[in-house]
Amino acid sequence: MADQNGSSGDDLEHSISAEGLSKSFHGFQAVDGVSFQVRKGEFFGILGPNGAGKTTTIRMLTGVLKPDQGRILIDGIDLRRDALAAKQRMGVIPEVGTVYTDLSARENLELFGMYYGLSKPVRQERATQMLKDLELHDRADDLVKTFSKGMKQRISIGCAMVHDPSVLFLDEPTEGLDVQSRKLILDRVRAMNAAGCTVVITTHNIEEASRLCQRVCIINKGQVVTVDSPEHLKSTFEQTRSVEVAFEGQVSCQELSPSCMLRVEESGDKMRIFTSDPDRTIEEIMRLRDERGLRILSLSTLGPSLEDVFLKLTEAKR
């Protein structure tokens, strides 16, 4: 049964419902019939190669772009019919730290609080708390133009969270940040999620998505390839198991040639051998060690990573 807003009871169980979204630019179909739903309180990732349609999808979900076709519900509110009420529930963190650099950190937080209709005492209190949480309280009254990239991104995150949104969109939030800022931001986002906020993240960092997200949506060429949990996706690609080894001393990957070996990737001082039979591969590694009198520094067997799954799925669509 649909309510006045056109949303059914099923829609109300979801924070976000995207139905058949399409968008084209000058004849180029950027997004073609994208549909997925995000449950309330879920940590959801949108992954895809460059030009896959992630940014266009996020721009439609956040009300920046109007879809040519399709419908978006945010907490059951139709974004097209009542954009203001839907946007009121969102916090959006764009890729670059888009805050007003001619304002101070506190002024930025209070300005965004004003846009979301917080009263003066509430926005002052929230701004002060946010500055503490983001470890910027000692720079609260400095102009943002004097901040580093990581500090600007922290303020950007704070501006999106100042009104305690029920849905948070993050577009590449940790891209190019230092380790401390990255950790601080992810900790803060995890805390919001633990408190019940739905989080949608787009990232190129697939391992980060694997660690954070309960489900991921992989988009390629403007279409949804799959929506599933990272662990379930990995389990469907078990044939891409691998053995990672690091020897003391120089070893060429040509020296390893078991028939079960699919390919070898060298990364730093390690070799990752993709194999259909890890046991035989380890035997081969031991043979090489004994023959050459080498010393093994580390040896581990690995399941397929989300990155492997991503590559398989997106390559299949090319």
- Under the rule (CB under 8 A), what is the footprint of another protein? 59, 62-65, 82-85, 87-88, 90, 92, 94, 96, 98-103, 107, 111-112, 114-117, 169
Helical axes 120-133 vs 105-115, angle rounded to 10°: 130
Nearer of residues 77 and 285 to another protein, judged by Cβ: 77
Query: In the bound complex, what is the minimum distance in angstroms from residue 178's beta carbon to another protein?
Result: 20
Nearer of residues 98 and 235 to another protein, judged by Cβ: 98
Nearer of residues 94 and 230 to another protein, judged by Cβ: 94
Query: In the bound complex, what is the minimum distance in angstroms from residue 149's beta carbon to another protein?
Result: 13
CA distances for 194 relative to 134, 208, 243, angstroms: 17, 17, 35
Query: In the bound complex, what is the minimum distance in angstroms from residue 59's beta carbon to another protein?
Result: 8
Nearer of residues 83 and 253 to another protein, judged by Cβ: 83
Nearer of residues 34 and 168 to another protein, judged by Cβ: 168
Nearer of residues 101 and 214 to another protein, judged by Cβ: 101
Which tokens in the block code for residue 191? 């805390």
Query: In the bound complex, what is the minimum distance in angstroms from residue 133's beta carbon to another protein?
Result: 21
Query: In the bound complex, what is the minimum distance in angstroms from residue 120's beta carbon to another protein?
Result: 13
Query: In the bound complex, what is the minimum distance in angstroms from residue 159's beta carbon to another protein?
Result: 8
